[in-house]
Amino acid sequence: MLHRKSLLVLCILLISQFALAEDGYRLWLRYDKISNASLLGKYRQQLAVPVITGNSATITAAKDELKNGITGLLNINSGILNSYTSKATFIAGTLATISNQYKLPVEKNALLGLGDEGFTITTKDQKIFIIANTDIGVLYGIFHFLRLLQTQQDITALHISTSPKIKYRLLNHWDNLNRTVERGYAGASIWDWHKLPDYIDKRYIDYARANASVGINGTVLTNVNANATILTPQYLDKVAALANVFRPYGIKVFLTARFSAPIEIGGLKTADPLNDTVRQWWKDKVKEIYKLIPDFGGFLVKANSEGQPGPQDYHRTHADGANMFADALQPFKGIVMWRAFVYSQLSNDRFKQAYEEFKPLDGQFKSNVILQVKNGPIDFQPREPFSPLFGAMPHTPLAMEFQLTQEYLGQGTHLVYEAPMFKETLESDTYEKGKGSTVAKVIDGSINNFSLTAIAGVSNIGSDINWCSHPFAQANWYALGRLAWDHTLSSEQIAKEWLQQTFSNDPAFVNIAQKIMLQSHEAMVNYMTPVGLAHIMYNGHHYGPMPWGNTLPRPDWNPVYYHKADAAGIGFNRTATGTDALSEYKQDVSSLWSDSNTCADKYLLWFHHVSWNHTMHSGRSLWNELCYKYNAGVDTVKYMQQQWNGLQKYVDAERFTEVKQLLNIQVKEATWWRNACLLYFQTFSKLPIPANYEQPDKTLEYYQSLRFPYAPGN
Amino acid sequence: MLHRKSLLVLCILLISQFALAEDGYRLWLRYDKISNASLLGKYRQQLAVPVITGNSATITAAKDELKNGITGLLNINSGILNSYTSKATFIAGTLATISNQYKLPVEKNALLGLGDEGFTITTKDQKIFIIANTDIGVLYGIFHFLRLLQTQQDITALHISTSPKIKYRLLNHWDNLNRTVERGYAGASIWDWHKLPDYIDKRYIDYARANASVGINGTVLTNVNANATILTPQYLDKVAALANVFRPYGIKVFLTARFSAPIEIGGLKTADPLNDTVRQWWKDKVKEIYKLIPDFGGFLVKANSEGQPGPQDYHRTHADGANMFADALQPFKGIVMWRAFVYSQLSNDRFKQAYEEFKPLDGQFKSNVILQVKNGPIDFQPREPFSPLFGAMPHTPLAMEFQLTQEYLGQGTHLVYEAPMFKETLESDTYEKGKGSTVAKVIDGSINNFSLTAIAGVSNIGSDINWCSHPFAQANWYALGRLAWDHTLSSEQIAKEWLQQTFSNDPAFVNIAQKIMLQSHEAMVNYMTPVGLAHIMYNGHHYGPMPWGNTLPRPDWNPVYYHKADAAGIGFNRTATGTDALSEYKQDVSSLWSDSNTCADKYLLWFHHVSWNHTMHSGRSLWNELCYKYNAGVDTVKYMQQQWNGLQKYVDAERFTEVKQLLNIQVKEATWWRNACLLYFQTFSKLPIPANYEQPDKTLEYYQSLRFPYAPGN
C-alpha cells in the first residue's frame, strides 16, 4: 500500500506529465480538472447522479461526451444512468423520453418552439434538466453544459433556451483527393481517402465532436475546384464511411459537384444543364448517393469561375445550372449551394461582377437553391465592405461564405482572430428593407422570410497535430460555429469562452489573451492593407506583399489593378465618376460611401482615388495616415508579442513556445509588409516617411527580389 | 487535504486519462510507469541519487532525457546532480569528467577502445556507471540504460560495453520542399520549410531524441530526386536551424546535391564535373554551407538515374562526378554518398546495370566517397537476393541502402516487420574473401578494412501523429537504428525490445505480438511475390498487383519484363543461357544459384525460367507451389489478425483499433494480391487452382479494371 505522501507525489507527477502532452489536439474540449475546490465540490454534487434518457447513436455520443467531460473536469466516475430515478441530480433527454418519466420543468409549447436543434437547460428542484425535441438537441445541450463547466459558470439556477438562427452551419473543405489542401496551411488534408472506407481515423470522430460542440451541422468534404472522381462508386463508398462517423453528431456530408462530371465520369458528350440525358445522369447519380447516404446534404458548386466548367459553357445561365441539381436533389430534400464567386467574363470592375451576374437571376432559382456569397465583393481580403449582393436579392436565399483559412490574412503563422471581421460584415446595414437590415438579418432569413439559411466557413483544418497550425487559429473554427448558431454573440464573449476552454480560466491570463485576440485583426489590416487597400499580396500563393505586381495576363489578378497608385494619389474610384460599383448598394449605403468625406476611412481606398495629401478624419494627410497605420500595425503586433511573453506562467510550455515563435515571425512579417508597401507607394507619393517612425532597413529592390516558390497552400 | 481514498481514485483517473492519449506520438520512448512493484522499488533505489557530469548541450540533453525517463518510469522526482557525491547511486559522464571525480570502475584502455560513440555501463560498489569518451557516448549510454528500464531488465550487476559497428547510421528522407514525400505514406513531410528557420516544431526535437535513442547519427533531409533550391542561402538558413536542433543529439545533417545546381542556381552554363568554374562553384557552395553548419555531413547524390542529371550528361564517369564533390567536401571532412541505383542506359537486364556501371570504377573514387547500394539489384522488392555489387568492390567503401518506407511492401497499411529482410541481406555470404564474407562484413568495413562505413534507411516518417502511419511501422525505423549500431542483433531481440517499450512488457502480449511481427515479412512475400517473383506491382504508385502491366515505354518498367510468364513457364533466366547476370556474383554464389535444383526456392524465379510443372524442393509443382504460397500468405495474415484480436486486453483502445482496422485492410489486400496474380498466371499455366484453396471470387477482368489515381506517395 502506498503512503499518502507518495500518492500525492505520484498524482502531482502524473498531472505534470499529463500537462506535458499539451499538443493542441484536444482543441477546446480539454476537460482538464477544475482546480477551484469550492466550484469543484458544487459541480460534483450537481453531477452526482446523472441521467441521459433515450437510445440512439446520438444519445450514446451524448453519454460518452458527458462521461468524458465529468471524468476529466470533475475527476468523478459517475455512471450515466439510462432512466429517471428520484436521486437524479442531472437529467437530459428529449421531450418524449423525459416526459414519460418526469413532470416537465418547462412549458411544453416553449420546448416545441425550440425546433429540431434547440434545447433548454433548466434548474428545477435542485436538479438540472437538459431537454430538446430531438436527440441532436440533447447532444448540443450536453456540449453547452460542458462549456458552462469548462468556463466555470455558476450552475445553481440555469434558465437557458437556445436554438440556432441559421439552419445550415457548415465547413467548406478545399481539400483535394491527393490530400493537398488549396489554401491550407495546417498540413495535409485530414481526409485520408486512400485508407477509407476501411480505416476510420480517430481524428474523424474528434472532428465530429468538435463541430457538434459548436453546432456545426454540415461539412463539404471536397474542394470547390472540384474533381468528378469523388462521385464515382469507389469514392462514394469512402464518403459514406465518413457520413456514418458524422451522423451521430448531427453532421451531414455535402460534396462539391464538378459541372462536367457527366462527361468525365459519365461518358456523355455534354454537360448542358438543359439536356435530358445530362439531367437524368445527375438524377441517377443523386439517387445512387442517397442509397449510400440517406441524409446526404447536397452539392456545393463553383461554376464558370477561375476555369471551372459551368452552365455558361452551354450558353445557359447560373440558374439553369443550379436548378438542374436542385431538381435532382429535391426528392431527397437535398440542397444546392451555388457559389456567387464568379468572374469569368471581364467587367470593368471585378467588384461588380457577382452582382452583375446574379442580380438579374433573382427569383429564378428553385426553392432548394441557396446562393453562397463571400463576405466581400473581391476575395477574403483583410477588410472588405460587405458584398453588394447582400441586400439585393429579395427572392433568393443567400448564404454567407467566410474564410477561416487565412489565405490573405497571414496564412499559417499570424495570430488573427477573425470574429471581429465576421461581425463587421454581419452587422453592416444593407438598408434592404430600411435601416437595420443588417447582413445578419439577410442571411438568417428574417428580412425576406427564408427558412433555407446557411453560413459556411472555408476550413482552416489540416493534419497538423493541433489541427489548425497556429494554436490561436482554432479560435476561428470555434467562432464560426458559435456565430452561425447565434450571430448576436459578441467577439469578446467568444474569445473569452474559447480561451477559458482552450488555455486557462485564470482571469489574469484570459484578460490579456483576450485583448491580444481582439486587437489582432485590426493590427493585421493595418500592417497589410490599411485605409481600404486590398489584394496587394504576392501572385499565386498570396504570401507576403507585392503591391508592385503587374505581370499577370488578367488585369484583375494584378495588385496594381486594386490600388491604382500614381503620382496624383491612390485608390480605386468606384463612384459614379469611376466604375460606379457603389450603385450596386442601396442608396443609403452608396451615398454615404460615395463621398470621400463621409466614407469611413477604413473603406476609403476601396471607393476613392484620392490625393496623397487628402485629409483623413484623423486630420493626417493620406500619406501620413498610411505611414501611421502601417506603423501602428507593426507596433500592435510587437505589443501582442510582449503581452504574450508575460503570460508564460499561465500556459503550458509547448503552446507558450509555439505562440511565442509564431509571434516572432508575425513581427518580422508585419515589418516586411510595412517596409515593402511604404517604400513602394513612396515611389508615387515622393513623400518622406515621417522621422518619428522606424525607417525601412532594406531597399525596395530587396523586397521585390524575394521569391517563395514553395509557399504552402498554392 | 484530500483523503487517501480520493487520492487513489484521482490517481487512477489520471492514469486512465493519460493512457487514453495513446496516439503513438511518443514512439518507443513512452516512459510509462513500471507496474511491477518490486522492480520499481529496486530501480528507485538505484536511481535515488543520479549524477551526470559534464557541461554541454549534449550533456543537458542526457540530463533531460534521464529526468524525463525516471519521472515517467519510476515516478520519482530525483534532481540530476552535476558532480560526484559519495551518496551517488548512478554516475554518468565522459572519461575525462568522471576520472576527475572518481576512481574509474573499468580499465581506461578498454574505455578508450570504445571510440567516439561507444560507452560502458558498469556496476561497481552498487553504483551504476555510464562512461564514454565523448558527450554523445554518454547520451547513447543514457538511452541504452533507459531501454534497460523500459524493458524491465535486471540492473543489479551490469557489465555492458558497446560501440557502433558502422560509422554513419543514417535516415534518408525522400522529402520535397513542397512537403510532399516521394513514397511517403505517413502524411506530409515533417520538415515545415516554410516556417523554418524561425519556427522550431517540437517534433524536430522528438525526432532527434528518437534517432539518438537507437544510435542514428545522420539525416539526409531532402529527396534524392533533388531540388537545387535547398542549396540557396534562403534554404540553407533553414537547414542550419534544423542542424542546430539535431547537434546536441549527435545527428549530422546531410543534403542531396542536384548535379545541375551550378546551372539552376549558379547561373553557369554547364555542370561538367571537370570544368574548373563548376568545381569552384561547388567549393564555394560547400564553404558557404560549412560556415552555417560547421558539422555538415556531406552530400547524397543520385545522378544519371531516372531522369536526374549527372556526370554522364558531360561524358564523364560517376567517379568524375563523385570526386568533384569529394574534393569540395574534403577540407571540411564531409563525405559523398554516391548512389549506385542507376539504370539510365539500357542493359539487357536491369539486374546487371549497377554492377556494369560501377565495377569498372572500383578504386577510382576519392577516400571520402562511399557508394550507396540498395540491398538488392532491382528496387526494394519484397524479397531480393543481395546486390552483386556487395563483394565486387574491394577498393570502394559500400554503404547499405534499405528502404524503411514500404513502397513495394504494402505501403501505409500492411504490418511488415522488416528486420528479418534486412538480416537476410546482411547475413548473405558474398564469398568476397572466401566463405563467411557476409554482406554485413562488407559494409562494416571489416572485409576490406574501410573505416568509412554507412547504413542508410529510406525514411518512413511523416507528419502523421504517430509518425509512420502504421503503429508497427515504427518498428522498422527502430530496427534500422539498432542494426546499424550492431548488425549481429537478432530480429527476435529487436522486435521484443521494441514491443516492450512501445506497447507492454507483459509476456502474454510480447510473445504473441513478436510472433506476428516475425512472420509478417514472409507472409507479405508469399501473398505478393512468392518463389522469387518481383516488381509485379501497379505502375507508378506501386499500390496493388498488376502482373499484366505491359504498357510503359521502357521494358524494365513493366511487370511482364520481370516475370516473363508464358505457356512454357515463368521466371527470368539470368543463368549463362539467359542474361548471365549470375556471373556478377562470386563463383560460390553463382554456381549455387545457377542450377535450378540447388537454387533456393525463394530465389528461383529471380534466376530461372522454369516450367509450370517444375518440381520444387517441397515436392509440389511450380504452379501448385505458387498456389500454395499465395494462399499461405493470405492465411498467415488472417492468423495475424486473429492473434491480434486476442490481444485487446493488453493494448490501449486507440492503437488496438488502429492495428485491427489495418489488419482488416491487409487481409483484403492480400486476398486481392493472391486472386489477381493467380488468375493472371493461370492464363499461361492453364492449370486449375487446387480445390482445397479458396477460389477467387472475382474475375481477372475485375482486378484489371481497378484504378487508383490518387494512391499516395507517387
Summarised one tens digit per residue, pLDDT across range B359-383 is: 999 999 999 999 999 999 999 999 9
| Mean pLDDT within A238-249 | 98
CA A711 to chain B, closest CA, distance in angstroms equals 6
State yes or no: pLDDT of B144 exceeds 90.
Answer: yes
Q: Of A452-466, B3-17, B267-281, B656-670, which range is least confident?
A: B3-17
Q: Which one is predicted more confidently, B100 or B176?
A: B176
C-alpha cell, B192: 515545415
Q: How far is A661 from chain B (nearest CA, A)?
A: 6
Helical H segments across B391-548, by residue range: 419-426, 439-443, 474-485, 491-502, 507-528
CA distance A183 to A175: 9
Q: How confident is the model at residue A154 (pLDDT cuts 50, 70, 90)?
A: very high
- Res. B19 pLDDT band, cuts 50 70 90: very low
- Cβ separation A4–B8 shorter than 8 A: no
For chain B positions 451-490, those within 8 Å of chain A (CB to CB) are 463-465
Q: What does DSSP assign to residue B248?
A: G
Predicted local confidence at residue B101, as pLDDT: 80
In the prediction, which pLDDT does A508 show?
A: 97
Are A709 and B229 in contact (CB < 8 Å)? yes
Residues 210-229 of B with CB under 8 A from A: 229
Measure the CA–CA gap between A322 and A338, rounded to whole angstroms.
6
Residue of A116, A264, A379, A580 with catalytic role: A379
Nine-digit cell at B441?
562484413
Residue A10: pLDDT over 50: no
pLDDT above 60: residue A475: yes
Average pLDDT over residues A467-481: 98
B258 CA to centre of own chain: 23
Q: Residue A463: list chain B partners with CB under 8 A.
A: 187-188, 463-464
- What is the spatial distance between Cα A98 and Cα A54, in angstroms, rounded to a whole number? 8
Peptide linkage before B164 cis (omega within 30 of 0): no
The catalytic position among B23, B201, B362, B379 is: B379
Active-site residue B182, yes or no? no
Residues from chain A contacting residue B75 (CB–CB below 8 Å): 9-10, 13-14
Mutate to test the interface with B, among A7, A194, A467, A656 (most CBs of B within 10 A): A194
Instruction: For chain A, say whether B11 makes contact (Cβ under 8 Å).
Output: yes
**Hey, is the C-beta of B702 within 8 angstroms of any chain A C-beta?**
no
pLDDT at A344: 67
- In this predicted model, what pLDDT tens digit does every residue of B261-295 receive, in sequence order? 999 999 999 999 999 999 999 999 999 999 999 99
Alpha helices per DSSP H over A388-438: 419-426
User: Is A702's Cβ below 8 Å from some Cβ in B?
Assistant: no
Task: Output the pLDDT for position A13.
Answer: 40
Does residue A331 surpass a pLDDT of 60?
Answer: yes
Q: Which band of pLDDT confidence, cut at 50, 70 and 90, is reported for residue A345?
A: low
Q: Do B21 and A21 touch (CB under 8 A)?
A: yes
Query: Which pLDDT does position A101 carry in this prediction?
Result: 80
Q: State how far the Cα of B262 lies from the Cα of B268, in Å rounded to an integer.
A: 6
Report the sign of the C-alpha dihedral through residues B498, B501, B502, B505, in that order. Answer: positive
Q: State mean pLDDT over B505-515.
A: 98
Considering only the beta carbons, identify the residue of B13, B187, B710 that sits closest to A187.
B187
CB–CB contact B14 A13 (8 Å) = no
Cα→Cα distances B640→A48, A496, B365, B530, B664, Å: 44, 50, 47, 19, 10
- Whether the per-residue pLDDT at A116 is higher than 50: the answer is yes
- Listing DSSP states for A126-151 in one string gives TEEEEEESSHHHHHHHHHHHHHHHHT
Contact, B606 vs B563, CB < 8 A? no
Residue in chain A closest to B17 (alpha carbons) equals A72
Any A CB within 8 A of B19 CB: no
Which among A337, A228, A249, A233 is positioned nearest to A292, based on CA atoms? A233
pLDDT at A626: 98
A413–B contact, CB cutoff 8 A:
yes
User: Quick one: pLDDT at residue B345?
Assistant: 67
Q: Does B25 touch chain A (CB under 8 A)?
A: yes
By three-state DSSP, how is residue B71 classified? helix
Q: Please give the C-alpha separations between residue B438 and each of A361, B372, B444, in angstroms, as whole numbers.
A: 79, 17, 10
In this structure, are residues A377 and A367 in contact, taking their beta carbons and an 8 Å threshold?
A: no
Chain B, 170-199: which have a CB under 8 Å from a chain A CB? 177-180, 187-188, 193-195, 198-199
Q: Is B30 left (phi over 0), alpha (psi -120 to 50) or beta?
A: alpha
Query: Are B662 and A13 in contact (CB < 8 Å)?
Result: no
pLDDT confidence of residue A2: 42
Do A710 and B194 make contact, defined as CB atoms within 8 angstroms? yes
> B11 to chain A, minimum CA–CA distance in Å?
5
pLDDT-derived band at A243, boundaries 50, 70, 90:
very high
- B7:A9 CB<8 A: no
Interchain proximity A14–B15, CB inside 8 Å: yes
Q: What is the model's pLDDT at position B344? A: 67
Contact A195 B711 (CB under 8 A): no
Q: Which three cell numbers stand for residue B188?
A: 506530409
CB contact B697 to A (< 8 Å): no
Q: What does the pLDDT read at residue B343?
A: 79
Touching check for B710 and chain A: CB below 8 Å? yes
CB interface of A with B, residues 369-408, below 8 Å: none
- Pairwise CB contact (< 8 Å): B13 & A412: no
Average pLDDT in the B187-191 region? 96
Closest chain B residue by Cα to residue A3: B4
Chain mean pLDDT for chain B: 95
Is the model's pLDDT at B507 over the cut of 50?
Answer: yes
Q: Cα distance from B704 to chain A (closest Cα, Å)?
A: 15
Q: Is residue A7 over pLDDT 90?
A: no
Q: Return the axis-axis angle of helices A507-528 and A622-645, rounded to nearest 10°.
A: 150
The DSSP secondary-structure symbol of A621 reads B
Residues of A in contact with B664 (CB under 8 A): 198
Contact with chain B for residue A8, Cβ under 8 A: yes
Q: What is the pLDDT of residue B100?
A: 80
B276 annotated active-site: no
Which residues of chain B does A30 touch, with a Cβ-Cβ cutoff of 8 Å?
A: none
pLDDT, tens digit (0-9, with 9 covering 90-100), for B304-322:
999 999 999 999 999 999 9
pLDDT at B12 over 50: no
Q: What is the mean pLDDT of residues A348-375?
A: 97
**How does the average pLDDT of chain A come out, rounded?**
95
B96 in A contact zone (CB under 8 Å): no
Which chain B positions have a beta carbon within 8 Å of A178's beta carbon?
710, 712
In this structure, what DSSP letter does residue B183 have?
T
**Residue B194 has what pLDDT?**
97
Per residue in A176-208, pLDDT (tens digit) is: 999 999 999 999 999 999 999 999 999 999 999
Catalytic: A407? yes
SS3 content of chain B, % helix, strand, coil (to 5): 45, 10, 45
Instruction: Measure CB to CB from residue A661 to each of B187, B200, B464 and give the nearest one.
Output: B200
Whole-angstrom Cα distance, residue A671 to residue A694? 10
- Does the structure show a pLDDT above 60 at B14? no
How high is the pLDDT of residue A78? Answer: 85
| Residues A549-568: tens digit of each pLDDT | 999 988 899 999 999 999 99
**Tens digits of per-residue pLDDT, A41-95?**
999 999 999 999 999 999 999 999 999 999 999 999 989 999 999 999 999 999 9
Q: What is the pTM of this model?
A: 0.96
Assembly ipTM: 0.94
The answer to whether the Cβ–Cβ distance between A188 and B187 falls below 8 Å is: yes
Q: Do A464 and B464 touch (CB under 8 A)?
A: no
Q: Kindly state whether B705 is in contact with chain A, defined as any CB-CB distance less than 8 angstroms.
A: no
B-chain CB neighbours of A67 within 8 Å are none
Q: Does A280 touch chain B (CB under 8 A)?
A: no
Calculate mean pLDDT across residues B185-196.
97
